[in-house]
Amino acid sequence: MRDAFGRAARLWVGCPGCGAFLEREVLRRRLGVCEICGHHFPLEPRERARFIFDAASFVPREVRLRSADPLRFASGGYAEELDRLDRESVIYGTAAVLGAPCVVVLMDFGAFGGSLGVVAGELFCRACEEAAAERVPLLAFTSSGGARMQEGTPALLQMAKTLAALESTAGRRPGYVALLCHPTCGGVTASFATAADVILAEPGALICFSGPRVVEQTTGIRLPEGFSRAEEHLERGLVDMVVPRGRQREVLGGLLAYLGGGRSRRGLKAPLIPESE
């Protein structure tokens, strides 16, 4: 019986948006978007790279850096977890979208909840420097629970460090686009995620400093439906555009070509707002 349940869970997944059971393979082909209600399931960085970037254009940088575990965070077994995962919450590299080149940062929520630690911060800064050296726009897909508490103050300092890297390279980089994915929280929201020239978000993405449950518990106030979601931030002006996954490639391609001065490996100048808008 347990086997049957396990097999069903591998093949089917419940949608948090509408409660329907969706076939995983169909969901994968639909870029992780529920065909009934449009709920956007979280995506792994490699899955996202597969549908956003031009074929074989994404070249991740292989950087072997490991956190020094400055707090000796023994109680949570942080050092063991670093060994077990053997990857960081930030991946960066070069890529192209509809022919427009960029340096891209992808956050991996599966690695320490996408948290911003010393190594993740350093990788983001290197991406800024590479975008400046290559004179191409920077593109970041954020998904994070916030600063990495296992690293304490050095993790919090990454907020200042990443913003300083953006500032010091601003004159040499032709723009920075951030696409905020569910969830983007804490120190990442309070630093580089919301410091972009153009801030896009996925439908329904939670974008906040403290999560709604924490705010409710602290204030004793029942928060309204949709609190701190992408659509509310669009209404209030933090987010410039909420872009469904099926349109992200064309919107990002247009933006990157525009920011890059029409530079494109195909020699095309993509429109800023796609004609199907």
Distance CA 157, CA 140 (A): 19
| Strand (E) or helix (H) holding 13 | strand 12-14
Task: Name which of 103 and 242 has its Cβ closer to Zn ion.
Answer: 242
3-class secondary-structure state, position 47: helix
Q: Which two tokens stand for residue 58?
A: 């994404």
Determine how β-strand 90-97 pairs with β-strand 59-60.
antiparallel
Tell me how far, at minimum, the Cβ of 224 lies from Zn ion, in Å.
22
Which parts of 74-103 interact with Zn ion (CB under 5 A)?
Answer: none
With a CB cutoff of 8 Å and minimum separation 6, the contacts of 42 are: 32, 109, 143, 181, 182
Tell me how far, at minimum, the Cβ of 40 lies from Zn ion, in Å.
10
What sections of 87-244 are H helices per DSSP? 118-134, 152-169, 186-189, 212-219, 230-236
Nearest to 203 by CA among 227, 181, 228, 223: 181
Task: Name which of 35 and 129 has its Cβ closer to Zn ion.
Answer: 35
Task: Name which of 32 and 114 has its Cβ closer to Zn ion.
Answer: 32
Task: Name which of 30 and 269 has its Cβ closer to Zn ion.
Answer: 30
Task: Name which of 15 and 63 has its Cβ closer to Zn ion.
Answer: 15
Which parts of 14-53 interact with Zn ion (CB under 5 A)?
Answer: 15, 17-18, 34, 36-37, 39
Choose the binding region for Zn ion from 10-18, 96-104, 137-145, 224-232 (rule: CB under 5 A).
10-18
**Count of residues of this chain found to bind Zn ion when the rule CB under 5 A is applied:** 7
Tell me how far, at minimum, the Cβ of 20 lies from Zn ion, in Å.
5
The residue ranges that bind Zn ion (CB under 5 A) are 15, 17-18, 34, 36-37, 39
